[in-house]
Structure 1
Amino acid sequence: MARTAENYPVKRIELLKIAEQVFMTKGYNETNISDILEVAGISKGAFYHYFKSKEELLEASIDSLMDDAIDFLMPAVENSKLSAMDKFEKFMRDKTVFQSSKKEYAVLLGKLMQADVFQYKYVLKSSTRLVPLLARIIEQGINEGDFKVSYPLETAEIIIRTVNSIPNSNYYDEYISNSERQKKYVKALQEVIGGTLGIDPEKVII
């Protein structure tokens, strides 16, 4: 029993990664628990030992993604040698790098974001985890005189929600596949975020 308890976190993560691959291959809505069981080589009883449902498994996947994002972004936030502007540029650049490393999974998220319930859960989790980090940078920028913002936390939430809403766009597939449309969208997003912070849009790394 002790050995099972000790291996529980490792086995749970293994099952989560397998499920993510199945989601990306078949699509979340098209995937049944039996599909995951077949690839994982486990029984239904074993599956329910780790997750109560497919929905809970997906939420765990989002949590895992957010954990990885926080670990990747935190160094920029906590670097005391950087100005707020430098932190902001690094935060946005690192966020882009992180998302690029998860591009295949991001395509899945883009499809899932079309569902209102999933979009709500994803945006809520993302806001809860990422907004406080960006708010810290904005507060520093206000103190240093670089950002023209009255409410840093609320501004951080608006920026994060704006960026996270991209996959929900009716033109998302075009932005992914058409480089010219992507350039225009990125430029528009830079202008929106730059205007919100009162900085040069060119300093907004997307």
Structure 2
Amino acid sequence: MRNSVHPTKSLLVETTVKILDTKKPHEVAVDEILETSGISKGSLYHHFTDLSELLEVAQVARYADWVDRSIALIVDIVSKSKSREDIYHGVQRMTLLTQSRDFKSFRFERARILGNSEGNERFQKSLAVEQERLTTGLTDIIREVIEKGFFNKDLDPAVVAVFIQSYTLGKIVDDVVSNPVDSKSWDKFVDHVVLTSIISQ
């Protein structure tokens, strides 16, 4: 059971999470959080060492939400798949979704949060909990798919879990260029890699 969070602390985090919908962490000021939440500066500093800690907690909360949605997406695909073909088509749909231009902002935010944690042990430890939860969740799901005979039985589930995360996030290198690769060609290549390397034959 998780420890209960003080309502004031919870509201401060929720408010900051919402503000981060439209602003980068470095653009967020204490006064904006206080004005939006209606909470005093003294209360903020009672629950958090400084603004940086609050921003870290809010970024981890946003990352955790992304983890929840990612796991739910994979669970939905697996639960509806009764054959290798179903799994393959499910992965195709996942590729189209996660590699799309519509997901560009999600890729940037995820990379930004990971980058912001560098050199900050407190932030990195909190973020690691959520990242490990995602990798562990995906590993368990992939192990189940392997046991069903839909994925290559020689695969290491944890390696596949990290690979899937790597290619979904890695598309960001093409998001910053003025002449990105053709999206259909990219999706086709990813599907080919999945079909030949992961899906059992």
Instruction: Please give the TM-score of this superposition, normalised by the length of structure 2.
Output: 0.64
Q: Secondary structure at the match of 2:59?
A: helix
Does residue 1:154 correspond to 2:181, yes or no? no
Alignment of 1:111-190 (within 5 A): 111-115=112-116, 117=118, 121=128, 123-142=131-150, 147-166=151-170, 169=173, 171-174=174-177, 180-190=181-191
Alignment partners' CA distance in 1, 2:138 and 2:92: 12
Q: Is the 8 A contact 2:142 2:160 kept in 1?
A: yes
Structure 1, unpaired ranges of 5+: 201-206
Instruction: Evaluate the alpha carbon distance shift between residue 173 and residue 106 of structure 1 in structure 2; reply closer, same or farther with a 3 A threshold.
Output: same
**Residue in structure 1 matched with residue 60 of structure 2 by the alignment:** 59
Alignment partners' CA distance in 2, 1:168 and 1:116: 18
**Identity between Structure 1 and Structure 2 (%):** 22
Could you tell me which amino acid in structure 1 is paired with residue 198 of structure 2? Answer: L
| Per-residue CA distance 1:148-205 (angstroms, 9 max, x = gap) | 3403413422432322431553x3334xx767543333333233333321569xxxxx
Alignment of 1:29-44 (within 5 A): 29-44=26-41
Q: Is the 8 A contact 2:146 2:152 kept in 1?
A: no
Could you tell me which amino acid in structure 2 is paired with residue 133 of structure 1? Answer: I
**Residue in structure 2 matched with residue 93 of structure 1 by the alignment:** 93
Alignment partners' CA distance in 2, 1:161 and 1:132: 14
How many residues align structurally? 186
Could you tell me which amino acid in structure 1 is paired with residue 40 of structure 2? Answer: S
Q: Is the 8 A contact 1:37 1:43 kept in 2?
A: yes
Q: Is the 8 A contact 1:20 1:61 kept in 2?
A: yes
* Bigger helix share: 1
Does residue 1:83 correspond to 2:83, yes or no? yes
RMSD: 4.1
Does residue 1:26 correspond to 2:23, yes or no? yes
Q: Is the 8 A contact 2:84 2:200 kept in 1?
A: no
Alignment partners' CA distance in 2, 1:30 and 1:76: 38
Which structure has more RCO (C-alpha within 8 Å, separation ≥ 6)? 2
Alignment partners' CA distance in 1, 2:93 and 2:175: 21
Alignment partners' CA distance in 2, 1:179 and 1:157: 26
Instruction: Evaluate the alpha carbon distance shift between residue 82 and residue 35 of structure 1 in structure 2; reply closer, same or farther with a 3 A threshold.
Output: same
Q: Is the 8 A contact 2:34 2:40 kept in 1?
A: yes
Q: Is the 8 A contact 1:18 1:39 kept in 2?
A: yes
Could you tell me which amino acid in structure 2 is paired with residue 38 of structure 1? Answer: E
Q: CA deviation at 1:104?
A: 4.5
Q: Is the 8 A contact 2:108 2:172 kept in 1?
A: no
Q: Secondary structure at the match of 1:53?
A: helix
Instruction: Evaluate the alpha carbon distance shift between residue 58 and residue 93 of structure 1 in structure 2; reply closer, same or farther with a 3 A threshold.
Output: same
Alignment partners' CA distance in 2, 1:92 and 1:44: 49
Instruction: Evaluate the alpha carbon distance shift between residue 24 and residue 160 of structure 1 in structure 2; reply closer, same or farther with a 3 A threshold.
Output: same
| Per-residue CA distance 1:26-61 (angstroms, 9 max, x = gap) | 212333444333333322344467765321221122
Structure 2, unpaired ranges of 5+: none
